[in-house]
């Protein structure tokens, strides 16, 4: 009855089954994967947020394929605050970054065409690509006192069917930003081979150090699609508002926008109340981001304090984002280890292989978990080795 593209194995993995059993048993759980910002104890200005949704203008239907002008203008202001000039005409609003990906995949790829994705990176891409009939090909990131793109391997991964290169800036879960030199190389490579750059920048604002990272928004060197949204920037994933910005060589960008507009027009996904409230929601990011960064820095300091007290485990460098990668002895596979930590220590972490780490011995922890839970979870985790 059903299409092959969605013929997934839907049986839960062993870790998710172990988690379900743990929860069903009513056992204590120190959740070091917690990354739903609305459940991590951050203070939201609920009156302002809810009042923004109460707007008589929401009673009118004004279909606009790119999204309401006022919301797109607010997005341009978000970028101008970073010193980046974006035209509202180059923005298409979507309900999520995932939807933005799917629009861009549809724009660029015929069935079976390929997109390059970083490894390690976050695991949503697989389903997104399957649904759009796109084949994902991994290019490795290498770690040497910090992560960087392995350009020779990236180049080798390019085939006649490659349509673009995906970058996550900063990446989830490695937490590293793309550097100026890498951006220049990516532009050169993509422009020379007729590939697009697809940049996921949902964590762009969460830099642990103060340096201002590069953004792909407005990048002119190659056809570029920069994506972000309220989910992470303002900690409002439930509001379902994101965007994609097209930039690059004039004629290519014009054609891309023309087609993106038709794709967006076919769905007209974002709803009126949320679009009308977007200027307010974006303003709310300042208070949210201050709290997140305070939490991230505190948890990172606690992790370092505890790591300093032992010799078996260490962590990789974190430049930004909400996660840290902990290096542990690879005595058993990552998944086995995560199950063991859950069963025996009540600690829930993500194993590195969820994110396509090249080797065993990596665990990923969320830096926005509540501070006490984080400290106790890390204590139990480290005591297990």
Ligand X SMILES: Cc1ncc(COP(=O)(O)O)c(C=O)c1O
Q: What is the contact surface with ligand X in residues (CB under 6 A)?
A: 96-98, 122, 168, 172, 200, 202, 229, 231, 237, 242
Closest CB to ligand X among residues 116, 375: 116
With a CB cutoff of 8 Å and minimum separation 6, the contacts of 263 are 103, 106, 107
CA distance 234 to 42: 11
Closest CB to ligand X among residues 284, 382: 284
Question: Is the Cβ–Cβ distance between 71 and 278 less than 8 Å?
Answer: yes
Closest distance of CB 176 from ligand X, Å: 12
Closest distance of CB 69 from ligand X, Å: 21
CA distance 231 to 239: 8
Closest CB to ligand X among residues 200, 360: 200
CA distance 350 to 326: 10
Closest CB to ligand X among residues 97, 162: 97
Closest distance of CB 237 from ligand X, Å: 5
CA distance 364 to 337: 12
Closest distance of CB 323 from ligand X, Å: 9
Task: Provide DSSP, 157-214.
Answer: H--TTEEEEEEESS-TTT--PPPHHHHHHHHHHHHHHT-EEEEE-TTTT-BSSSS---
Task: Provide DSSP, 263-291.
Answer: HHHHH--S-HHHHHHHHHHHHTHHHHHHH
Q: What angle do CA 144, 145, 147 make, to 5 degrees?
A: 65
Closest distance of CB 240 from ligand X, Å: 8
Closest distance of CB 202 from ligand X, Å: 4
In the chain, what is the greatest distance between 2 CA atoms, to the nearest angstrom?
Answer: 63
Closest distance of CB 325 from ligand X, Å: 14
Question: Is the Cβ–Cβ distance between 252 and 280 less than 8 Å?
Answer: no
Burial 193-206 (b: 16+ CB within 10 A, else e): eebbbbbbbbbbbb
Closest CB to ligand X among residues 94, 162: 94
Closest CB to ligand X among residues 355, 374: 355
Closest CB to ligand X among residues 20, 124: 124
Closest CB to ligand X among residues 90, 200: 200
Closest CB to ligand X among residues 202, 208: 202
Question: Is the Cβ–Cβ distance between 347 and 32 less than 8 Å?
Answer: yes
Closest distance of CB 318 from ligand X, Å: 15
**In this structure, are strands 196-200 and 224-229 parallel, antiparallel, or unpaired?**
parallel
CA distance 348 to 33: 7
Closest distance of CB 27 from ligand X, Å: 26
């Amino acid at each position: 009855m059903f299409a092959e593209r969605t013929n997934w194995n839907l049986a839960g993995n062993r870790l998710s089954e172990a988690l379900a059993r743990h929860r069903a048993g009513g056992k204590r759980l120190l959740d070091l994967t917690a990354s739903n910002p609305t459940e991590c104890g951050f203070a939201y200005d609920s009156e302002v947020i809810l009042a923004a949704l109460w707007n008589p203008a929401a009673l009118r239907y004004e279909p606009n394929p790119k999204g309401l002008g006022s919301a797109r203008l607010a997005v341009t202001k978000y970028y101008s605050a970073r010193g980046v000039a974006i035209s509202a005409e180059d923005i298409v609003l979507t309900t999520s970054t995932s939807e933005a990906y799917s629009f861009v995949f549809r724009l660029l790829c015929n069935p079976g065409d390929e997109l390059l994705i970083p490894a390690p990176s976050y695991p949503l891409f697989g389903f997104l690509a399957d649904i759009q009939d796109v084949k994902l090909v991994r290019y490795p990131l290498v770690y040497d006192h910090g992560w960087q793109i392995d350009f020779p391997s990236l180049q080798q991964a390019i085939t006649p069917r490659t349509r673009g290169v995906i970058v996550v800036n900063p990446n989830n879960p490695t937490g590293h930003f793309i550097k100026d030199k890498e951006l220049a190389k990516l532009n050169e490579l993509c422009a020379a081979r007729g590939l697009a750059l697809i940049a996921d920048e949902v964590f762009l604002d969460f830099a642990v150090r103060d340096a201002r990272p590069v953004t792909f928004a407005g990048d002119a060197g190659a056809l570029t699609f920069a994506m972000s949204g309220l989910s992470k920037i303002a900690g409002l994933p439930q509001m379902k508002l994101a965007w994609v910005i097209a930039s690059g060589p004039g004629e290519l960008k014009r054609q891309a926008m023309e087609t993106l507009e038709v794709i967006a027009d076919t769905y007209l996904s974002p709803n009126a109340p949320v679009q009308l409230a977007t200027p307010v929601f974006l303003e709310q990011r300042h208070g949210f981001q201050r709290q997140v960064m305070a939490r991230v820095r505190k948890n990172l300091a606690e992790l370092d304090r505890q790591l300093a007290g032992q010799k078996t485990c260490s962590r990789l460098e974190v430049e930004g984002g909400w996660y840290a990668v902990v290096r542990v002895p690879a005595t058993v596979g990552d998944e086995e280890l995560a199950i063991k930590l859950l069963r025996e220590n009540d600690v829930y972490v993500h194993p590195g292989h969820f994110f396509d780490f090249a080797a065993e011995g990596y665990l990923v922890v969320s830096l926005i978990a509540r501070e006490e839970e984080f400290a106790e979870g890390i204590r139990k985790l480290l005591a297990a080795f």
